[in-house]
Amino acid sequence: MSEKDMSVKEKTLFGKGTANPSNIMPQKLTLDSKIKFRCHPGVKCFTACCRGIKIVLTPYDILMLKKRLNIPAHEFLQEYTTPVYLEKTDMPGVALKLREDDDNKCPFVTPEGCTVYTDRPSACRYYPVGMADFHEGQGAMGEGADQKDEEKFFFIVKEDHCKGFEEDKEWTVAEWRADQGVDVRDEMNKEWLRLVMRRKSFGHQASLSEQAKRMFFMSSTDLDHFRRFILESTFLDTYIIDDETVEKIKNDDVELMLFSFKYLANALFGAEGLSIREDKIQEKVKEIQERQDDSVTQSIQDYKDIKAARGEEIDPDL
């Protein structure tokens, strides 16, 4: 499926910016607002929303799905995902790979419904209630982020084919979100979404190096690989990480994922939270000084060569 086709419909993950605006109801909702909606196997449109859509996966989605399928992350990525750029930025991520030979259906849908329902991705849980872009703009990664959280509001995304709105069930937005397990997902996804939104807020003013993009992709999609990077590289010699955190990184995938967000915020955006060991800083300073000394020596030599070539006298103090 081409990127163009995939952009036709997208289950909202990052907030209202990614959904088709004409499907967004022009009403700001709070957690106490009432909505009338129900989705169940009896609706005429059952599973209609599980085809022809772009479902971007968060690191937590990938973690839950690969555990559910009992396969390593790299196998999951290869078999079930396709690469995408996140939120029109240069940050690489993945979306579910639809079955091109079967009407662009999600690989997990059957006539009976979703085969991974209890571990379905975050984007599948949000519909039809979207949450506004509270992560976007300044303060998203640090100061002011909590105030931003408090500013969030909700909205309804109403697709024409969706008959769930004709059902009688009424709930508050809070009840709907709890029922769909969205609150847990929000908590797990929030720092990662903030990284993407922060990148988006920079626009094209600054570009990420290829190495930074690779690191973001690896940390976001393959925690097994990221764990090896932490434990088997010079990482622990470079950063100050307490023993308790190291133990958690070794044994707990969710803790490892949360740590990866902290690391990425530090490595990509200079956010606080990780400190480099003093001796490593000194080593780096020395290395930079040596490089500077080399270039000064080189430019003095160049100057002398030019003078000599012109037959001019060379200052003996140089």
Where does this chain bind ligand SF4 (CB under 6 A)?
39, 43, 45-50, 55, 106, 108-109, 114, 116, 120-121, 124, 127, 161-164
**Beta carbon of residue 235, minimum distance to ligand SF4 (angstroms, whole number):** 34
CA–CA dist 25, 91 (Å, integer): 29
CA–CA dist 87, 140 (Å, integer): 16
Phi, psi torsion values for 158, nearest 5 degrees: -120, 105
**Beta carbon of residue 152, minimum distance to ligand SF4 (angstroms, whole number):** 22
Cβ nearer to ligand SF4, comparing 45 with 184: 45
- Asked if 29 and 131 touch (Cβ cutoff 8 Å), the reply is no
Cβ nearer to ligand SF4, comparing 89 with 221: 221
Long-range contacts, 4-8 (Cβ 8 Å, 24+): 5/52, 5/104, 6/53, 6/54, 6/84, 6/95, 7/54, 8/52
**Beta carbon of residue 141, minimum distance to ligand SF4 (angstroms, whole number):** 29
Nearest to 59 by CA among 258, 312, 197: 258
Cβ nearer to ligand SF4, comparing 39 with 86: 39
**Beta carbon of residue 60, minimum distance to ligand SF4 (angstroms, whole number):** 14
150, two tokens: 């408090």
Cβ nearer to ligand SF4, comparing 127 with 226: 127
Cβ nearer to ligand SF4, comparing 186 with 255: 186
**Beta carbon of residue 49, minimum distance to ligand SF4 (angstroms, whole number):** 3
CA triplet 14, 20, 25: central angle to 5 degrees?
90
